[in-house]
Structure 1
Amino acid sequence: MRADAKKNRSQILTVARDVVTEHGADASMRDIARRAGVGLATMLRHFPTREALFEALLCTNLDTLTQKAVELERSTSADEALLSWFRELVAFAQNYRGVVTMMAASHTNPDSALYASCAAVHSAGARLLLRAQGQGTARADMNGDDLFALITALGWAVDQPSFAPRADHLVHLITSAILTNQPGNDFKKATS
């Protein structure tokens, strides 16, 4: 890639990050190009679709969340690893309004530009859940798809202005329903 093309691509991504944080996933491609100081045609050469732009924009964050899951698997108790990762994923969803809907649609669509990153995050969460289940600290009647659905639902909820102030409380409610050893939940191990 030529130096000027690299510079344009980098500028587009920098501006896109700000615009998406400000306006959410429905941010205008034309507005991003204008703010980046490039023509729409230049932007579309780099990112022919909104999904391609989001894939480039979000890939680093999703890869970081996947790597974080690996680190947590090695260094933290199973329930704390799942809880910490869950909270980081919700914080990510809060930073990029509207991204949860795109992730939910992409994680089962191999033709989506976001598929690989979403599938990796989904798999990382499933591994953390299985580890917690193996140690008896998470509900045995759920799987990675259920976890991803709960994260998606919570991500959507905290994306709404009326629920955003209650994000921490909602995370606690959901994780209390998943983890069997959290204070205030009714899902105690059957063997207790």
Structure 2
Amino acid sequence: MGLDERLLRAARAAASEWFEAVGRAEVVKADYHRAVRHLHLAGGSMREIAEALDVSHQRVHQMIEEAGGTEGWKPRRKVGADLVCSFCGAAKTEVSSLVAGPGVFICDGCVDLCGRVLGEADAAHGPSHVDPVPSTSGFSCSFCGRGAADSARLVAGPGVKICDACVRFSAEVIAAQSG
């Protein structure tokens, strides 16, 4: 007995629709995991994120790892006798310039990186230890205190944020020091 062609076409169409839906679901899932990772990279703890999204802390950890994790981030060193960049953890002796803010510091390399990320905020940028922060985030600049909504752009590192104006100012300070 042969297969009913009409039913076979319907089954193939349903399979095709199902494959497309699975593909769309994977894209949306990846977008969700990246958004959760950005929340974490912008300073949110995994427990805060879990509570806000009504998921487990372990699930948040899994999502962050699936979206790229926190690899490449250096743990922040404690500020003591050695001044360190609050973004990458490099000591003053390891960088050309270190610009100070109120209890935070940024090195010349991170100023350049933040400037590039701010310039590419609408485009995807490669993995780095800084990410653009949405203007609706409620975060504020660790250097000047200006909120994300009050700045044209805000970039977050590990527990520290900097606005576009402070990046420009830091770049000017570094240029003045080297020139």
Which structure carries more helix by proportion? 1
Q: Same fold (TM over 0.5)?
A: no
Taking structure 2 as the reference length, what is the TM-score of the superposition? 0.31
Bigger Cα Rg: 2
